[in-house]
Structure 1
Amino acid sequence: MAWSTRQLAELAGTTLKTVRHYHEVGLLDEPERAANGYKRYRIGHLVRLLRIRRLVDLGVPLSEIAVMEESEENTEQSLRALDDELAASIERQQRMREELAVILRHRSPADLPAGFDEVAAERSDADRALLLIYSRVFGDSAMAALWEMLSRPPTPVEKEFDALPADASEDTRSRLAERYLSEIRQHYQNHPALLDPWAKARRREETSRESVVVQALLELYNPAQLDVLRRIDALHPKDGTSSGGG
């Protein structure tokens, strides 16, 4: 008994396109043809196709199948490598599910850095945007310090800064800067990692990480808020980031 390409595909639970692709990449030999030119597939082709489909269902890339067939050692190595990849994928997906569970449970914004869902949900849009940027340019110690800072409710001064209108009077800005300065000094005392937030940073690119943060501050805060930050920097010069963002 012999089958056409379509019949072979149906028997194997796949498609004509897939069978033809396996021919193209050399995984499935071309069958002999009948006098009318039609392909005539036999049991050997069906068994071969089913074996290919089985390996594909296990997640083996087509490029690996031919290598696996060269020896039992190659087969074991390929399967172990695949198992390691699957284990890593499962771990990553489990971590994603845990993060999603936290987001859904607390109805937190989904755009916060991992781990900040519970502590930064009530912060301003600007602060949340800065957190995303910080998560790409700050080191782990600085991010951990930010998490500790944000784990307590915003202070009255922080709330006033977040709500500061762009046309706030100079007197309002001056008094807010003086009050905010004392809190910022306390932040640096309690979290010295913030004095050098770039230490052990995850990304080290040609573009200065400091300039990225400065540009973010300029675009995310209004003129009055920026003036408050400039006054704070003038009163308390330091190395590292500006004082905004919580």
Structure 2
Amino acid sequence: MAWSTRELADLAGTTVNAIRHYHALGLLDEPPRTYNGYKQYGVRDLVNLLRLRRLAGLGLPLAEIGTTKESDATEALRRADTVLREEIERFRRSRAGIAALLRSGAPVDTPPGFEVVGARLAESDRALIHVCTRIHPPATLLRLRLMVSAESAEVRDRFHALTPGASELTRKHLAEDLAHGGAHWRSTVWLEPTESGAHEPSPTRMTQQAFIEALTALYNRAQHDVLRRADVALRAQRRTAGARRTGLGVSPVRSHVPVAFPRPQ
């Protein structure tokens, strides 16, 4: 009994193209042909094809199947198992992210870990958080999530309602409100060392620059001015608090080069 390529594919539960691919890779020998050029496959070809599909189904790369000896098969399986375990974990994280987005109704581009607050964030804020997820370590991102969640909706809405021509008084009052809570998440002040020494890992020059570039691109000049004023106020609060604790006229907070927000034009 001889089978055509199509019949062999049907018997093995695969496709004609897959069989041709196995031939091209040298994993499956070419069978004899009839006088008119048609391939004729036998039982041995079917068994070899089923073995190939078994190894491929276990996750072994096709490039390894042809070179893996029986004595090396166990190690090849261990490597395949590691790859599959990593893939399963990636799929698990993807499913968890999808579930969180569906529960919260947040936009699909919400950064991972921020799904709960994503629905109430402006596009510019989500974009800034995307940058933060690349430049901050996990411990810092955890604190960032807490700060974003705790931000006043009223202050946030006022900040995003700012137009480039917002008045001096409007900017002043909003900057004061941003600084009122002791820090705001669109700043690097909360990352700086404190008098007690408890702080997040200091941002590098590159991460600071990336943060500032993001602020410059994502917010308008009035918003830049408000953020700059808020940071000035926050640093003043720290100096005052430090002096009060020590009874000195200067704060013992270690020196830090402040991040310079773009000034209004």
Secondary structure of the corresponding residue to residue 210 of structure 1: helix
Q: Match for residue 98 of structure 1?
A: 96
In structure 2, relative to structure 1, the CA distance for the partners of 1:2 and 1:242 (3 Å cut) is: same
Cα pair 2:32 2:39 within 8 Å, conserved: yes
Q: CA deviation at 1:119?
A: 3.1
Task: Quote the residue 2:60 is aligned against.
Answer: 60
Question: TM-score when scaled to structure 1?
Answer: 0.80
**2:59 counterpart letter in structure 1:** G
Residues 102 and 35 from structure 1, CA distance in 2 versus in 1: closer, same or farther, beyond 3 angstroms?
closer
Shift in Å, 1:234: 4.4
Structure 2 segments unaligned to the other structure (5+ residues): 194-198, 236-255
Q: Measure the CA separation in 1 of the matches of 2:55 and 2:144.
A: 47
C-alpha spacing 1:77/1:111, structure 2 compared with 1 (3 Å): same
Question: Is structure 2 residue 173 aligned with structure 1 residue 175?
Answer: yes
Deviations 1:95-154 (A, max 9, x none): 222222221112122222222111343122222211111111122232111111123252
After superposition, the CA RMSD in angstroms is 3.1
- Percent same amino acid among aligned pairs? 41
Note if contact 2:178-2:184 (Cα within 8 Å) is conserved in structure 1: no
Distance 1:11 1:236, change over 3 A: closer
- Residues 1:41 and 2:50 are matched in the alignment: no
Matched, 1:215 2:213: yes
Please point out which of 192, 195, 200 is paired with 1:195. 192
1:126 aligned partner: 124
Aligned length: 235
Q: Could you tell me how far 1:219 is from its partner in structure 2?
A: 1.9
In structure 2, relative to structure 1, the CA distance for the partners of 1:233 and 1:31 (3 Å cut) is same
Q: Select which of 154, 157, 160 maps to 2:155.
A: 157
TM-score relative to the length of structure 2: 0.75
Higher relative CO (Cα under 8 Å, sequence separation at least 6) belongs to 1
Structure 2 residue 120 is matched with structure 1 residue 112: no
The answer to whether the Cα contact below 8 Å between 1:194 and 1:240 also exists between their aligned partners in 2 is no
Unaligned runs of 5+ in 1: none
List per-residue Cα deviations over 1:69-116 (Å, max 9, x = no partner): x12x32122222222222222222222222222211121222222221
